[in-house]
Amino acid sequence: MSDKLTEIMAWKRQEIAPIVRPVSLEELRSRNAELPNPPSFADALVRPDGKLAVIAEIKRRSPSAGAIAAGVSATGQAIRYRTAGASALSILTDARYFGGSLTDLADVTGFFQSQGPTLPCLRKDFMVHPVQVLQAREAGASAILIIVRALEDAEIEGLFAASVAAGLDALFEVHSEAEVARAQRHGARIIGVNNRDLAIFKTDLGLSERLLPLIRPGAIAVSESGIFNGADAHRVHAAGAQAVLCGEALMKAEDPTALIASFRSS
């Protein structure tokens, strides 16, 4: 694990310590049955026309980019993305490093439920415990993130089982051949190649070109980070991506509709 990722994961475990408690699969299934069904994240990533699905990310800042859009309203940005034709949303809920919150997620999903149509939302955070999965479900998420390099196998297994029990999809994030293999051993149905090396924050789309072909048929292949224009999208689409996750470029775009259209023209 990279030094920065080690730092972030250590903080995340410390941050959630006050709320950690046993969360059984039975509790998650029961809570799932009580709540409105979220839209399917997985279904949104497979377009019948074969063009790229676009996961548009709401991200105010990051350790690599610094401030991106410090004061932006999550709901306002979500509306812009929906209008622009995004397939799904990724909402950062980490406060310390990304300027997000669980409230952002709940506000967006609550608005969509009252002012449809809705888009499926990924809770983008550093997941380490099933209690965070419960939080995500209660906040209206459709999916959670599992960062393979940051977790032990038992933790991955526990988070994935929790996501299934809660009725959520799971995006397994990988950055190496070995991590693709680990994700697939755990039965990952959605695998995202993070083109950004969290050790040095260098972005290389060549990583998607190397790793996407390793993803087994039937799983949904996503390319994350470093997608700034139509040429970038075409490159990863040609390598096998069915969807791209884009944050910084869309957050800064004056015309996100045109940018998303350029991704799909590949």
Q: What is the pLDDT of residues 160-193, one digit of tens each?
A: 999 999 999 999 999 999 999 999 999 999 999 9
> Which of 5-19, 105-119, 140-154, 191-205 is predicted least confidently?
191-205
DSSP helix/strand/coil, 62: strand
What is the DSSP code string of 130-175? HHHHHHHHHTT-SEEEEEGGGS-HHHHHHHHHHHHHTT-EEEEEE-
pLDDT of residue 200: 60
Give the phi and the psi of residue 172 in degrees, each rounded to 5.
Answer: -85, 120
Q: List the domain range (segments joined by +) for residue 177.
A: 3-15+40-264
CA–CA separation, 208 and 125 (whole Å):
22
Q: Is the dihedral of CA 60, 62, 64, 67 positive or negative?
A: positive
pLDDT of residue 112: 96
The residue among 176, 170, 101, 165 whose CA lies nearest residue 139 is 101
Does any domain span residue 29? no
Does any domain span residue 24? no
Query: What's the burial of 162, exposed, middle or buried (CB within 10 Å: 0-12/13-18/19+)?
Result: buried
Does any domain span residue 32? no
Does any domain span residue 206? yes
Mean pLDDT of the chain: 95
Does any domain span residue 25? no
Does any domain span residue 22? no
The residue among 233, 252, 194, 230 whose CA lies nearest residue 59 is 252
DSSP β-bridge partners for residue 66: 62
Does any domain span residue 245? yes
Total count of domains within the chain: 1
Q: Do residues 108 and 91 lie in contact, with contact meaning Cβ atoms separated by under 8 Å?
A: yes
CATH number for the domain harbouring residue 195: 3.20.20.70
Over residues 20-45, mean pLDDT: 97
Helical packing angle, 74-84 and 102-114, nearest 10°: 50
Over residues 19-48, mean pLDDT: 97
Q: Give the pLDDT confidence of 105-145 residue by residue, as tens digits.
A: 999 999 999 998 999 999 999 999 999 999 999 999 999 99
Is 81's pLDDT higher than 90?
yes
DSSP helix/strand/coil, 8: helix
pLDDT of residue 63: 82
Cα radius of gyration (the chain): 17
Q: Do residues 142 and 88 lie in contact, with contact meaning Cβ atoms separated by under 8 Å?
A: yes
Does any domain span residue 87? yes
Q: Do residues 185 and 160 lie in contact, with contact meaning Cβ atoms separated by under 8 Å?
A: no
Higher-pLDDT residue of 68, 244: 244
Give the model's confidence band at 266: pLDDT under 50 very low, under 70 low, under 90 confident, else very high: low
